[in-house]
Amino acid sequence: MDIGNEEYQHLRSRFDPESWQGANRLGIHLFVRGLTLRGKELPGWRLINARRVELPDNPPIVRSLWSDPSSALLQVNVIEAGSRIAAHEKLLELLGNFEGPVVERLSDPDLGDVAFSVDSASVVYAQGNLVVELLNAGGPLTDAVEVAGLFDRWLVEVPEGRQELPGGAEVSLAPTPVRRNEEATIELDVVDAFGRPVEVRVLARRGEIRLQDGRLTYVAQTSGEETLTVVVIDVDGAVSAHDLKFRISR
């Protein structure tokens, strides 16, 4: 973390991460890379602007600003961490920004793996490898927790109307056979028909997906039959997908 050890220990003492780090309330393992906001993610809200920021030694972040008919402004930031554990570490770091106000851990089982709020005016939560932060940014005060629920439902939804991956792209794992607790690389090289980068969402049932040294990796946690679903969304919102089925050995 980019904070001193003393502050880090203070955050751990204050927010008790041992009780929630590594939690997965979704029931499947979700990994998102190249998240793109197109303005349809928050019903009733209008996307004013969105930009992706990538800096050395930091995970990518998508910053966006939204407005509703009452002229309320809401800032939504989404950080793409390299894994679920890394997302929870980043969440702990962000909680340090709320040092003054009373921060409440939310018990809502439908909002992320773990979520915190400040008087419903601000909320920060983790879902899969993502950390999502919603902040009131002007105009009438809005319930950030309620809006976060809308955003999270969109985030975990598997898009319908799927077709096969563009350009004949394929998904594979190496090495095979896949064994429990051993790392395998997800081989995936896909762009849209015009060579533009795409958003990728990977869903797994029996293992975690991580980004390590630029590689997508999969580590099975239990043995048995697995289906790795790779969903690709291009810049125009067209959805394609591929299911990779395999067996995990002991």
Beta strands in the chain (DSSP E): 29-33, 46-53, 61-67, 73-80, 104-105, 114-118, 122-127, 130-138, 172-174, 178-179, 183-187, 199-204, 207-212, 215-220, 224-233, 239-249
CA distance 130 to 156: 11
Confidence of residue 4 (pLDDT cuts 50, 70, 90): low
Q: Decide: 150 and 43 in contact? Cβ < 8 Å.
A: yes
pLDDT at residue 7 above 80?
Answer: no
Give residue 47's pLDDT. 98
With a cut of 60, say whether residue 155 has pLDDT above it: yes
- Sketch out the chain's domains with CATH numbers: 5-156 (no CATH), 166-249 (2.60.40.1080)
Average pLDDT over residues 187-213: 87
- Amino acid occupying residue 137: A
Would you state the pLDDT for residue 102? 83
Q: What is the pLDDT of residue 97?
A: 82
Residue 183: pLDDT band (50, 70, 90) is very high
Check residue 101 and give its pLDDT.
66
For range 177-189, the mean pLDDT: 92
Angstrom distance (rounded) from CA 124 to CA 116: 6
Alpha helices in 113-219, H assignment, sequence order:
144-156
The stretch 234-246 carries a mean pLDDT of: 88
Confidence of residue 194 (pLDDT cuts 50, 70, 90): confident
| Mean pLDDT in residue range 215-233 | 94
Checking if the pLDDT of 167 tops 90, the result is no
Alpha carbon distance 196, 66 (integer Å):
26
- How long a stretch of residues is the chain? 250
Residue 88 backbone phi and psi in degrees, to 5: -70, -35
| Higher-pLDDT residue of 109, 176 | 176
**pLDDT, position 142:** 95
pLDDT > 70: percent of the chain: 95
Q: For 80-97, how does the pLDDT look when each residue is reduced to its tens digit (9 = 90+)?
A: 999 999 999 999 999 988
* Residue 1, pLDDT above cutoff 60: no
pLDDT tens string 31-50: 999 999 999 999 999 999 99
Judge whether residue 15 has pLDDT over 90: no
Percent of the chain with pLDDT over 90: 66
